[in-house]
Amino acid sequence: MPGETLDDAIAAATTQQAAGIGSLFTLLGENLTSIDEGDAVAAHYHEVLARTTAAGLGTEISVKLTQLGFDLDPEHAERLFRELALAADEAGTWAWIDMEGSDYVEATVATYQRVKADHPDTGLAMQAYLHRTPADVERLLPVKPAIRLVKGAYDEPASIAYRRGADVDAAYLGVTVAMLKGVAAGSVSRCVLGTHDTELIAQAARHAAANGLDRAKVEVHMLYGIRADQQRRLAREGFTVKTLVAYGTFWYPWYVRRLAERPANLLFAVRQILP
1 inside domain: no
What distance lies between CA 195 and its chain's CA centroid? Answer: 10
- pLDDT tens digits for 107-139? 999 999 999 999 999 999 999 999 999 999 999
Q: Which residue type sits at 3?
A: G
Pairing of strands 95-97, 60-63: parallel
**What is the C-alpha to C-alpha distance for residues 239 and 219, in angstroms, rounded to an integer?**
6
Helix (H) or strand (E) run with residue 36 in it: helix 35-54
Residue-wise pLDDT for 179-199, tens only, equals 999 999 999 999 999 999 999
Residues 189-213 have a mean pLDDT of 96
Residue 171 falls inside a structural domain: yes
Average pLDDT over residues 205-232: 94
For this structure, is 98 an active site residue?
Answer: yes
Contact partners, residue 106, CB within 8 Å, separation at least 6: none
**Separation CA 66–CA 101 (nearest Å):** 11
Detail the DSSP E strand segments found in the chain.
Answer: 22-27, 60-63, 95-97, 122-127, 146-150, 190-193, 218-223, 240-247
The pLDDT, as a whole number, for residue 2 is: 78
Q: Answer whether residue 67 shows pLDDT above 80.
A: yes
For the chain, how many structural domains are there in total?
A: 1
Query: CA nearest 117: which of 12, 217, 189?
Result: 189
Least confident of 26-35, 53-62, 123-132, 204-213: 26-35
Confidence of residue 273 (pLDDT cuts 50, 70, 90): low
Return d(Cα 202, Cα 218) in angstroms, integer: 10
pLDDT at 266 over 90: no
The answer to whether 243 and 230 are in contact (CB under 8 A) is no
How many percent of the chain have pLDDT more than 70?
90
Q: How far apart are CA 97 and CA 86, in angstroms?
A: 14
Chain mean pLDDT for the chain: 92
Of all residues in the chain, what percent are helix, strand and coil, respectively (each to 5)?
55, 15, 30
Task: Note the pLDDT tens digit of each residue in 221-239.
Answer: 999 988 999 999 999 999 9
β 240-247/122-127 pair status:
unpaired
Instruction: Check: CB of residue 113 under 8 Å from CB of residue 140.
Output: yes
For residues 65, 148, 159, 261, the Cα torsion angle rounded to the nearest 10 degrees is: -60
d(CA 46, CA 80): 10
Report how far apart the first and last C-alpha atoms of the chain are (Å, whole number).
19
Residue 143 lies in domain = 6-273
Among residues 136, 148, 190, 197, the one annotated as catalytic is: 148
Any alpha helices (H) in 119-250, and if so which ranges? 133-140, 165-185, 198-210, 228-236
CA distance 140 to 43: 29
| Any domain includes 13 | yes
Residue 200: its pLDDT value, please? 96
- What is the structure's pLDDT at 189? 97
**CATH code (residue 248):** 3.20.20.220
